[in-house]
Amino acid sequence: MSDAETVERTMPESDVPTTSDAIDSPLLEVDGLRKQFGGVTAVDGASFKVAKGSFTGLIGPNGAGKSTTFNCITGIHEPTAGTVTFDGHDVTGLAPYTLAKRGLVRTFQIARELSEMTVLENVMLAPPGQLGESALRSVVPGLRERVQRDETEVVEAAWETLEFFEIDHLAHENAGNLSGGQRKLLEMARVLMTEPEMVLLDEPLAGVNPTLEEKLLDRIDELRQDGLTFLLVEHDMDVIMNHCEHIIVMHQGQVLAEGDADTIQSDERVLEAYLGGDV
Amino acid sequence: MSGFEDVRDRLEALPDAALVVSFLVGIWLLLTLLAFAVGGAQSANLAAGFVGSVTVLVGAYAILTLALNLQWGYTGLFNIGIAGFMAVGAYTTAILTAPVDPGAGGVPGFGLPLLVGLLGGMVMAAIVGAIAALPALRLRADYLAIVTVALSEIIRLFVNWGGVAEVEVFGKRFGTGGATGISFKSPDEVVATLVNGPGQPLVAAAESVGISGPNVVNMAYGLSLLAIAAGSYWVLSRVSDSPFGRVLKAIREDETVTQSLGKDTRLFKIKAFMIGCALMGLAGALFRGGAGYISPAQFRPVITFYVFAALIIGGSGSNTGSILGAATFSALLFYLPARLGEYFPTFGRSAPGNVFEAIAALGSLDPTPLVAYTVGNISTLRFVLIGAVLVYIIQNQPDGLLGHRNEPAASVDLRRPRSADGGETDE
Amino acid sequence: MGIAETVSDGRQLAIERPGAGAVAAVVLYLVADLATKLLGTTVYALGFRVMGGALTVGSLASMVLDGLLVGLAVGLAGIGLSMTYSILDFANFAHGDTVTVGAFLGWVAAYVTANLAVSAPLTDLFLFNGGAQLSASASWVLVLFGLVVAAVGTVAVVLVVDRIVYRPMRDSGNIALLIASIGVALALRYLVAFVFSTQTSGVATSGTRLQLFAGVAITDNEIALLVVAVVLMLGVHLLLQRTKLGKAMRAMADNEDLARVTGIPTERVVRLTWVLGGALAGTSGYLLVLESGTISFNFGWILLLLIFAAVIVGGIGSIYGAMAGGVLIGLVDSLALIWLPSGLTRAAAFAVLIVVLLLRPSGIFGGVSTA
């Protein structure tokens, strides 16, 4: 069965009024993405688009292939087939650091803080193109002064970001000592310091208490005002339905349905996938 | 354990420079005391000999440990091929500086000045490091360890091979000297020329209190190595207290995350590896080749593990800790026990030839042969001690002396800038 | 498979995996070269000798025999290293010194017992002085006795070491364990040196030589090594295939978490790993001394990298792989002499180790066999 057929079968255009084909200027476009591990196909021809400046949700039952899709988009895994286009350029299979430099970054499902580094160090790592990332410049007298000037600005920006996420009181704490929710905030803070255009969030709210959750979602809304694009994997349906203007549903490695909250909630196949399709 | 923590807390209360200096002075005093306790009329000279030798060891191990700290402590690269990179540096230096016309039995070289030779040695060690690093750095830490130790043995076997003892390339004759080794421009002698030339008044003063000329030179050589170690510390501190160092630390913590944040981690790893290897090469030439002669037997893998012991004692991840670890290892675990064994009173009896005789004497309730044998073989037993210390530290104090310290990698003050401080000022 | 197909497969290999392609090309060249050498011809191209030379079948056979003997012993030692590597998840740098300890224990027992009747003082006999050297044919009972002591004694030593050093560290990372094993290696090696001094002693000598065919002879001690090693390997095979504990160990080697979930008594399996690995390491050291005739405090340490090579070539965690890897590395170490000067043959074995780790870290038999 070819990829094209698969997509057509699972996503007939007439059934879905607001497919992502309607998106004129997608920032991210995934086309026929496939990933196999040995004999197991984790993603099986997924295609979707994410509009610039949107808050798009990616949902699906366990094992639907959401995390693998994320990993393929962000260069952690090389896709078996298919293409990923970001900002008009083919970025399929590029290394994570190249993608990050182009403005496509991600957070991890289980927060991966750099535990033996302080919160401030974690955040200060992220800004791109720091002069002092050259060993030579950091050592040679004269050049180091420029590194320091550059870094003074980084310190300032880092503190601002920590204040934005209200974890500035933990700045000198080792990241490993943070609570689960605080780690999620730190990871978000860190990823924003890379000056991204688009952020892929892999379950950023799992394990976060409701107050913190509200705070995080507020932050995301604020950042969207500044033109950032978010793609969110999340299990909490309320969050997805209330905050995302576009929702993509994955099932068994393929895109099952997409549209706004109302469309998705009234789609029978989605219900079926969640109720019976699992296992 | 509380004793260990007590020592640690006291160490921490001091600024780093004072800490290191007082540590070193303490070691010198200890050895001087020992010398005066056993030396009789020769005490001053003996003390000078002790101090000189221990300073050479501390300086050399400090350079090596700092280099390893950059690779392992900072970046998490588990390099146990230190001996091999030392050999590359030492042999390159030797070949570059060996006389063009060495006379009978000698191995010819390029006859270049020592400084050029040392620089060449560092560059070559860095290049070999890069070649090794390119394919190997993506390996798991323990695989990298095995690859590097195998490489170091290949390097040693290669320079040991008779086929490269002396070769002719484009009319130039040079080589490694094979198993017999190679003589070259002695770094020790370069220092000696300085000491006996401009430093003549110093030598005269030393001789007036009974310290021999060679011992003055030896002390001067040790101090030169310490100075190089201090220079390395200065460079490496700047390397690590910077955004570059921050990326290295991040690689150690989680390479995938670091990549996801836009850092080309491979490049950083190769750079860190090369800088470390260059320093190892320098130490190889100055430490193993101090007297102007090297042979393959000086570069067995065991020296790699000594450097590891030093770093683990000091605390991997801390540059100051590296120097303290190097001093603790080389002076207190390596050098001091051997001297103690040499001068320990053996109750007027010579040690038995083997341990079984000593144990047999226990049957007649005479423990002195066993004591005498133990003391006589203390230079063997110190390695058992080193092994035990390594296990103890890994089990109970995996951070060593200073590895637990929070040393943020940044080139500037990390306190909250005033402008961001809750609007106290209107800037 | 036709030649054309093979060639096109080869071309594809060279394009898709340049490293593996290069290795395949080198191996092909060496085989062709060996064949021409055996034929006694030389192939020239553009005035240079490309391959060939002279090599008698007899000298090839004796090299193969040498490699096989060392390889079997190395493979035997490798079983323990491979099992600790996969079940306890760390590279045990003390394994070589475990081999040394076993050899010393076994040979002290055999040598002292054999020479009790000699007038030399007992304390000298403990240091292998003043007595007669042993051979497998003349005093096989004593040699066998020493073998058993080597096995049992080494087991005792590794269990004590595990109790003191590794057991408190079960939850530590593999690098912490590796470093601890470096400490153990130093302590063991220099304890042996403390007791037996750093000299090299002769303890065994061959009793008879058996001429196999022209240019190839085998001694009684070598036959003993061959027979004991093969018997032990068969024993390990039966243990793994037929007993419940053996199956549990294979499961643990494959996946420790899985084994925990399915309720295999982990600590018991860990202990058995040490028992089996230690016994085989001890016997392997003992047999190597029987073959070479001499014993010294650091011979196991020097051997360690070769054992690592065997384990990694065979695939970490694979017991059969360790045996096969041992033989392969033994053969490389010995057959490299055909192409390399004698000083560099060991380097060739290490080079194989590096190449395998870089190109195929799961070992050349990796993925084929479990256990």
Q: What is the pLDDT of residues C163-180, one digit of tens each?
A: 999 999 988 888 899 999
pLDDT band at residue C3 using 50, 70 and 90 as cut-offs: low
How many other C-beta atoms can be found within 10 angstroms of the C-beta atom of residue A88? 10
Chosen domain end from C55, C71, C86: C55
In the prediction, which pLDDT does B267 show? 92
Closest-CA distance of chain B to residue C273, Å: 20
In the prediction, which pLDDT does B349 show? 63
Determine contact, residues C179/B304, Cβ cutoff 8 Å.
no
CATH number of the domain located at residue range(s) A3-113+178-277 in this protein: 3.40.50.300
Structure tokens that stand for C123 in this block: 């304390």
Distance of CA A190 to the CA centre of its chain: 13
In the prediction, which pLDDT does C258 show? 62
C173 and C314 share a domain? yes
Tell me which residue range forms the domain holding C29: 1-55
Q: What is the pLDDT of residues A135-151, one digit of tens each?
A: 899 998 889 999 999 99
| CB-CB under 8 Å, B162 with C187 | no
| CB-CB under 8 Å, B246 with A120 | no
Domain assignment of residue C371, yes or no: no
C221 and C354 share a domain? yes
C45 and C61 share a domain? no
Closest-CA distance of chain C to residue B313, Å: 12
Mutation target for A interface from B247, B251, B255, B411: give the one with most A CBs within 10 A. Answer: B411
CA angle B240–B246–B252, rounded 5-degree value = 100
Share of chain A above pLDDT 90, in %: 37
**Closest to B261 (Cβ–Cβ): which among A95, A152, A194?**
A194
How many other C-beta atoms can be found within 10 angstroms of the C-beta atom of residue A275? 9
* Strands ordered across the beta sheet of A198-202: A104-106, A198-202, A229-233, A55-59, A246-251, A254-259
In the prediction, which pLDDT does B52 show? 94
- Average pLDDT of chain C is 85
Rg of chain A over Cα atoms, rounded to whole angstroms, equals: 20
Judged by phi (left if over 0) then psi (alpha if -120 to 50, else beta), residue B67 lies in alpha
In the prediction, which pLDDT does C26 show? 85
pLDDT band at residue A277 using 50, 70 and 90 as cut-offs: very low
**Closest to C194 (Cβ–Cβ): which among B143, B147, B377?**
B377
Determine contact, residues A119/A184, Cβ cutoff 8 Å.
no
Could you tell me which residue, C232 or B344, shows the higher pLDDT?
C232
Q: What is the pLDDT of residues A69-80, one digit of tens each?
A: 999 999 888 899
C26 and C72 share a domain? no
If 0-12 CB within 10 Å is exposed, 13-18 middle and 19+ buried, where does residue A38 land? exposed
C153 and C297 share a domain? yes
B-chain residue closest to C121, CA distance: B357
In the prediction, which pLDDT does B200 show? 87
pLDDT band at residue B407 using 50, 70 and 90 as cut-offs: confident
In the prediction, which pLDDT does B350 show? 67
Q: Is B339 on the interface with A (CB under 8 A)?
A: no
Q: Is A255 on the interface with B (CB under 8 A)?
A: no
d(CA B253, CA B92): 35
| CB-CB under 8 Å, A139 with B275 | no
- Examine the pLDDT at A3 and tell me if it is beyond 80: no
Domain assignment of residue C366, yes or no: no
Amino acid at B110: F
- Average pLDDT of chain B is 88
Tell me which residue has tokens 């070559």: B124
Mutation target for A interface from B232, B242, B319: give the one with most A CBs within 10 A. Answer: B242
Weakest mean pLDDT among A205-214, C50-59, C280-289, C293-302: C50-59
Domain segments of chain A: what residues? 3-113+178-277, 117-177
In the prediction, which pLDDT does A269 show? 85
Helix, strand, coil shares of chain B, percent, nearest 5, are 70, 0, 25
d(CA A221, CA B170): 71
In the prediction, which pLDDT does A264 show? 86
Share of chain C above pLDDT 70, in %: 89
Weakest mean pLDDT among A30-44, B47-61, B224-238: A30-44
Q: What is the pLDDT of residues B33-55, one digit of tens each?
A: 999 988 788 889 999 999 999 99
Q: What is the pLDDT of residues C68-112, one digit of tens each?
A: 999 999 999 999 999 888 888 889 999 999 999 999 999 999 999
Domains in chain C, number? 2
Query: What mean pLDDT comes out for the span A81-109?
Result: 91
Domains assigned to chain B: 2-343+377-411 (1.10.3470)
C98 and C47 share a domain? no
Query: What mean pLDDT comes out for the span C221-240?
Result: 90
Query: What mean pLDDT comes out for the span C263-267?
Result: 67
Weakest mean pLDDT among B218-227, B375-384, C17-26, C281-290: C17-26
C78 and C29 share a domain? no
C94 and C157 share a domain? yes
C74 and C46 share a domain? no
pLDDT band at residue C264 using 50, 70 and 90 as cut-offs: low
Q: Is B380 on the interface with C (CB under 8 A)?
A: yes
Q: What is the pLDDT of residues A237-266, one digit of tens each?
A: 888 888 898 999 998 888 988 888 888 888
- Examine the pLDDT at B426 and tell me if it is beyond 50: no
- Examine the pLDDT at B420 and tell me if it is beyond 60: no
Contacts by C354-357, CB closer than 8 A, 24 or more apart: C354/B147, C354/B150, C354/B151, C354/B154, C355/C19, C355/C23, C356/C312, C356/C313, C357/B136, C357/B139, C357/B143, C357/B146, C357/B147, C357/C312
pLDDT band at residue B68 using 50, 70 and 90 as cut-offs: very high
d(CA C349, CA C335): 10
Query: What mean pLDDT comes out for the span B277-290?
Result: 95
Q: Residue C203's domain is classified under what CATH number?
A: 1.10.3470
CA-CA-CA-CA torsion for B64, B70, B74, B75, nearest 10 degrees?
A: -110
Domain assignment of residue C279, yes or no: yes
Chosen domain end from C55, C77, C92: C55
Query: What mean pLDDT comes out for the span B208-220?
Result: 90
Structure pTM?
0.88
In the prediction, which pLDDT does C340 show? 87
C and A touch per CB criterion (3+ pairs under 8 A) = no
Domain assignment of residue C277, yes or no: yes
Closest-CA distance of chain B to residue C200, Å: 15
Q: What is the pLDDT of residues C99-148, one digit of tens each?
A: 999 999 999 999 999 888 887 788 888 888 888 888 888 888 999 999 99
Alpha helices by DSSP H, listed for C197-298, are 220-242, 244-254, 256-261, 266-292
C40 and C75 share a domain? no
| CB-CB under 8 Å, A124 with B246 | yes
A190 neighbourhood in chain B, CB within 8 Å: 261
Domain assignment of residue C368, yes or no: no
Determine contact, residues B125/B89, Cβ cutoff 8 Å.
yes
Tell me which residue has tokens 């002064």: A145
d(CA A136, CA A68): 39
Query: What mean pLDDT comes out for the span B180-187?
Result: 92
Q: Is B241 on the interface with C (CB under 8 A)?
A: no
Q: How far is CA B172 from CA A217, B94, B176, C156, in A?
A: 73, 15, 14, 58
DSSP B291-321: TSEE-GGGG-THHHHHHHHHHHHH-TT-HHH
C335 and C231 share a domain? yes
| CB-CB under 8 Å, B145 with C183 | no
In the prediction, which pLDDT does B427 show? 37
- Examine the pLDDT at A9 and tell me if it is beyond 60: no
In the prediction, which pLDDT does A276 show? 62
C91 neighbourhood in chain B, CB within 8 Å: 142, 145-146
- Average pLDDT of chain A is 84
| CB-CB under 8 Å, B154 with C351 | yes
Q: For residue B61, which of B82, B90, B78, B75 has the smallest C-alpha distance? A: B82
C150 and C289 share a domain? yes
Element (DSSP H or E) covering residue A59: strand A55-59
| CB-CB under 8 Å, A124 with B243 | yes
